[in-house]
Amino acid sequence: MAAPDAKLAGASDKHARDRAIMVTRHLAARGISDPLVIAAMGKVAREAFVPEGLKEFAYEDSALPIEAGQTISQPYIVARMIELLELQPTDTVLEVGAGSGYAAAVLSRIASKVYSIERHEELATEARARLKRLGYANAEIIFADGTTGSPEKAPFDAILVSAGGPKVPEPLKQQLAIGGRLVIPVGRDVHQTLLLVRRIDEDSFEEEDHGGVSFVPLIGAEGWVEPGKAKQETAIDAEASGFANGLLMPARRAKAIRTELSHLIAEAAEPFGDLDELTSLAERFAHKRVVLLGEATHGTAEFYDARAAITAMLVARHGFNIVAVEADWPDAAVYDAYVRGLPRPKVPQAAFTRFPTWMWRNGEVADFLKRLKAINEGIGDPERKCGFYGLDVYSLGASIEAVLLYLDKVDASAARIARERYGCLAPWRSDPVRYGRMALSRGYAVCEKPVADALLDLLRKRLDYHFKDGEAFFSAEQNARIVTAAEQYYRVMYYGDAVSWNLRDQHMFDTLERLLAHRGPSSKAVVWAHNSHIGDAEFTEMGQVRGEHNIGQLARGRFGEEAALIGFGTDRGTVAAASDWDGPMEIKRVRTARDDSYEGSSRDSGIPAFFLETGPGQKEHIRSALAEPLLERAIGVIYRPETELLSHYFQAELSRQFDAWIWFAETKAVAARADAHPHGPDETYPFGL
């Protein structure tokens, strides 16, 4: 096997950690065990084989589009097929369907010689130049019809076919060496079958079925007829099958599945015409201890208004006394003071002025706060008034300031010690991401012990402080916990998405539990957060592939049937979002949802707005249909329509992910302004919109 070119190794270094995560999370964790395959996948720089604009997605476990309307297969399926070939370093390999050249590059890190055939001249030329530039000297790209193989290069110890054919091409079987292996997808229905063919002797072959897969069609003399070159009736049949457009799922079958699911949704959905009707539908969950309300975007007015209406009902009629939101604790405390008639905290000076301002500084939130304040004014007992709390972990600077301000009032000596300890973080308070980079480069957690000690000091004096002012101490303790969690969060964010995600969601759930304990044994909470935090991650790609958990999963584990998880969806409209982190707010057009998504099926039900129970209260055949893994859309504070499939869709099992699904076919952006500081003096908020 040829050694990788030094130039290639240098180009790969930037993404070495991404490849290591890919190998661990997407390959080894899913059963790929051949050490030669693992090593090869860990060496090849996948980002060099995808278009420039898609490099950030190179190590996601998904297929990506390339030139000529083709795709580069997802890493797992590449590894799975190569592992089935049982390659040895002395083997000669034929690949059919070179595409970008990625699989050929991986094969070349194991086998002695690789011949890869590509029928698209554009792809063949680019793949040939790419492999030469990257130093894969033992891989050769051939422009030809791959279904007939390469007789002049035969026999081959292994043949890999990266497209689905109507049958195993006879020329490829005949070009196998005795004992050779051929891996190919075969079929034309929803799922093709992945076959492993072994040549036993001159005339004998064995086949093994390795499950369902979906590939673009194998076009050629021994494969499917190329669109446009067949007889009219054949072309019509190919078009109807979906292969004429290179779809992964035949169009006729995809439409049938979509139609069946949309009909089931229409059968089970409960339409509503206004928010009063929606509130009545959602009231079936009022007996729960915790009701978690999601959103499919962070900038859609209908989601905020629907959550506000449901929450107001739960507070006014069913004794819910906690609204806990995906927001920073110190900023939310300003809103809490307003709705409960408490003195306004001195920290922060202005609430929710950092990116993304539109999440909590918008007209819909302002209207909800006024409504919640009015409800609270009708509740005589201060202990029963509903509070507004932040669950998140990002408020490092404001939380430090709040802790010190509290200690200055109750214990000047402790305040001096805390200032010394928090001084470790002083250089990074305005930009805590820099602390994470520094801790990573130095190789140790500079501030971990000082901030932990500050929290421990506060907890040791819990009884004394709590006796003076229990509410103030609880807030100070929470801010100290946030500093500790934030130090960890910014330090581990460079170690992989799952690590930082899990720390953040665990912190948010722990905060929710502390709030419930603090507000008393009869306390009940409504949680507002994105669907990705609210839906049970165990039944999504987040948990099954990326190893992430979330608030919804933790709530089900802790509260069982006392927790209700409600998701939201939309098909089209406008949304407030940015193009990049810390970028300006824009009003963006939301693309119509993909047909192969739950949103697509919800749209095709033909109901403009509905409430769909998906939990145990639903009919079993409906729940079963809604448990079929499909795509689901998630738009956060960033929305990139140009890469929507890669940026904003993930696989989920709806009826296991949520207990109910609230649908608005068309939605609009929240009422917020795009400039960085859209409001007047902070004391006028929420009236100064």
Report the C-alpha dihedral over residues 627, 287, 525, 295, rounded to 10 degrees. 30
Contact residues for 21 (Cβ-Cβ < 8 A; gap 6+): 59, 496
Terminal-to-terminal C-alpha distance of the chain: 67
Q: Which SS3 state, helix, strand or coil, does residue 575 take?
A: strand
State how far the Cα of 300 lies from the Cα of 365, in Å rounded to an integer. 11
Q: Report the relative pairing of strands 139-143 and 113-118 from DSSP bridges.
A: parallel
DSSP state letters, 77-112 = HHHHHHHHTT--TT-EEEEE--TTSHHHHHHHTTSS
Cα Rg, the chain, nearest whole Å? 29
Tell me if 299 sits within 8 A of 360, measured CB to CB: no
Cα 304 to Cα 325: distance, rounded to the nearest angstrom? 12
Catalytic residues: 73
SS3 assignment for 502-554? HHHHHHHHHHHHHHHHHCCCCCCEEEECCHHHHCCHHHEHHHHCCCCCCHHHH
In contact, 294 and 566? CB cutoff 8 Å: yes
Strand boundaries in 349-502, DSSP class E: 387-390
**Range 18-43 burial, b when 16+ CB lie within 10 A, else e:** bbebbbebbbeeeebebebbbebbbb
CA distance 94 to 115: 5
How does DSSP assign 610-637, residue by residue? EEEE-STTS-HHHHHHTTS-EEEE---S
Residues 6 or more apart whose Cβ sits within 8 Å of residue 517: 523
Please give the structure tokens belonging to residue 241.
């099958």
| Cis preceding linkage at 155, omega within 30 | yes
Is omega for the bond preceding 271 within 30 degrees of 0, making it cis?
no
Largest CA distance in the chain: 91
Distance between CA 681 and CA 688 in Å, rounded?
A: 8
Is the CB of residue 18 less than 8 Å from the CB of residue 496?
no
Per DSSP, the chain holds a count of helices (H) and strands (E) of 27, 20
Encoded amino acid at 188, one letter? R
The residues that bridge with 183 in the sheet, in sequence order, are: 160, 196
CA distances to 282, 313, 440, 616, 628 from 310, rounded to whole Å, are 7, 5, 44, 21, 29
H or E segment at 259? helix 251-268
Instruction: Please compute, for residue 430, the number of CA atoms within 13 A of its CA located in the half-sphere on the CB side.
Output: 1
